[in-house]
Amino acid sequence: MFTNKKSYMSKIIYALTGVLFIWTSAAFGQSLEKRIAIVEEMVSKVSVANIIEMHDKIVSFETRNFYSDMESDTRGRGAAQRWMLGKFEEFSKAGGGRLQFYFDNYDQPPTNRSAEKYRELGEETHLLVNVVAILPGRTDNVRYIVNGHYDSRGSNGTDGKVTAPGANDDASGTIVMMELARVLSQYEFDHTLMFVADDGEEQGLLGAHHMAQTAIDEGWEIGGVFADDIVGGVLGGNGKYDGSAIRVFSPGPMDSESRQWARYAKFVGEAYSPNLLINLVFRLDRFGRGGDHRAFIERGFPGARFTELNENFAHQHGDNNDLIEFTNREYMAKVARLQVAILAYAGNSPRKVTNVNVSRDRNDYGTFIRWNHETEETDIAGYKIYIRKTDSGYWQEVVDVGAMEEITITSRNRRTGRETTWTGYRTKLFNRSIDDYVFGIVAYDRDGYVGIAVAAVR
């Protein structure tokens, strides 16, 4: 804890100590009180030239299908795996050796989708290889993960021989992820950042399911997962040319951890990349489609998916039809800049508060808000209350209550006489009824990094 405890009886009146600011939903993502200079520096290091060089290289392997060649140095997923691991090693050396990298190998048993292919190959299992880089946190091991799936497919998803360059699906997401690793590995963060090139997404999210289950088995604490999947196009099959925004998908309910993670992305990302807006889409994914974030969400971790504004289905899941000429590397760089800022904030963000609760003041119809914050962080500067109407998907107001002291409240049940004691933080909002608004709490530190909101859900 960062403050001393004081004990108060429950009848004490708690005054609002902050100042009320009104932010419209459209402006909320661009309304950080101050930008952080070192984050601006990180964003500026995203290189279009580097993205082009890496994108050209990964597409040059012609196919990265789950059943493609593992031995060739010029074609197939084996060549792509070794090249990606070599790039992570290069990034690590340039960043002082902090970035760790490895192949995450797994003998994948057959699924309903793959059983026939396994019989054709005479295999009982098939080697799955995720390519992973980890930037360990300096204070704890809360993990923020960004992934792109490097495997590709043609019209027949199990054909490992047909040319399937997958320039957009999903070389674009893989290369954005790798550019994030290159830039962010030059810095240190409080929390751990993971950069993952997933295998087998086109076969049923296999690599993501393997990693998400590993997270469960090993007890990882995951703050959020981003799946970058199809983030390279600006000309849709509908004829629309638009590189001004990107969609971010997150499942409900309205105040789920995944949806708060998506709101956080919009709040932070747009402040540092105003020429690329985030369109929040409040559903798990596109209709009839899936992505690697789903594997984590199904296991209880917060996740969201980034996908271009207007897809072109004619350049997906076909033989030699997903080509570089149908992608836009400037747009990919904008996505990378946006996500560098998001991950930089998340990597240094205060831990989430817990046990957020609201109650009514029956005397004047105000709202008491209380929460706990179990943390050893010593640089917490204060807390903010986020407010929105119940029918809004976006936070609309913020109250900065500043630094607070932890208190202990003892209450007596009038009917039973039983006493209960609660310790934590508490404040009051006047003229805000718990019936009409949703309230969330975030912590912020002395450097200006803001945590992810936790809402009081009744």
**pLDDT tens, position by position, 292-316:** 999 999 999 999 999 999 999 999 9
Looking at the domain assignment, is residue 357 inside a domain? Answer: yes
Looking at the domain assignment, is residue 319 inside a domain? Answer: yes
What CATH number corresponds to the domain at position 411?
2.60.40.10
Answer yes or no: are the C-beta atoms of 367 and 358 closer than 8 Å: yes
Quick one: pLDDT at residue 458? Answer: 65
Phi, psi of 229 (to 5 degrees): -140, 110
Quick one: pLDDT at residue 31? Answer: 57
Looking at the domain assignment, is residue 24 inside a domain? Answer: yes
Looking at the fold, whether 202 and 123 belong to one and the same domain comes out as yes
Classify residue 280 by its DSSP letter. E
The Cα–Cα gap between 229 and 141 comes to 26
Looking at the fold, whether 148 and 214 belong to one and the same domain comes out as yes
Answer yes or no: are the C-beta atoms of 167 and 326 closer than 8 Å: yes
Quick one: pLDDT at residue 190? Answer: 97
Answer yes or no: are the C-beta atoms of 318 and 154 closer than 8 Å: yes
Looking at the domain assignment, is residue 22 inside a domain? Answer: yes
What CATH number corresponds to the domain at position 71?
3.40.630.10
Looking at the domain assignment, is residue 75 inside a domain? Answer: yes
Stretches where the chain sits below pLDDT 70 are 1-33, 458
Looking at the fold, whether 363 and 319 belong to one and the same domain comes out as no
Quick one: pLDDT at residue 33? Answer: 66
User: Pick from 280, 315, 348: which residue ends a domain?
Assistant: 348
Number of domains in the chain: 2
Quick one: pLDDT at residue 417? Answer: 87
Sign of CA dihedral 423, 429, 430, 431: negative
User: Pick from 304, 331, 348: which residue ends a domain?
Assistant: 348
pTM (2 d.p.): 0.92
Quick one: pLDDT at residue 310? Answer: 96
Looking at the domain assignment, is residue 420 inside a domain? Answer: yes
Looking at the fold, whether 149 and 235 belong to one and the same domain comes out as yes
Answer yes or no: are the C-beta atoms of 303 and 236 closer than 8 Å: no
User: Pick from 348, 373, 399: which residue ends a domain?
Assistant: 348
Closest by CA to 371, choosing from 255, 456, 263, 261, is 456
Domain, as residue range, for 365: 6-28+352-455
Looking at the fold, whether 371 and 327 belong to one and the same domain comes out as no
Tokens of 347: 């990597």
Looking at the fold, whether 245 and 121 belong to one and the same domain comes out as yes
Looking at the fold, whether 114 and 231 belong to one and the same domain comes out as yes
Quick one: pLDDT at residue 154? Answer: 97
Answer yes or no: are the C-beta atoms of 94 and 88 closer than 8 Å: no
The Cα–Cα gap between 361 and 434 comes to 10
Looking at the domain assignment, is residue 1 inside a domain? Answer: no
Tens digit of each residue's pLDDT (9 = 90 or more) over 76-102? 999 999 999 999 999 999 999 999 999
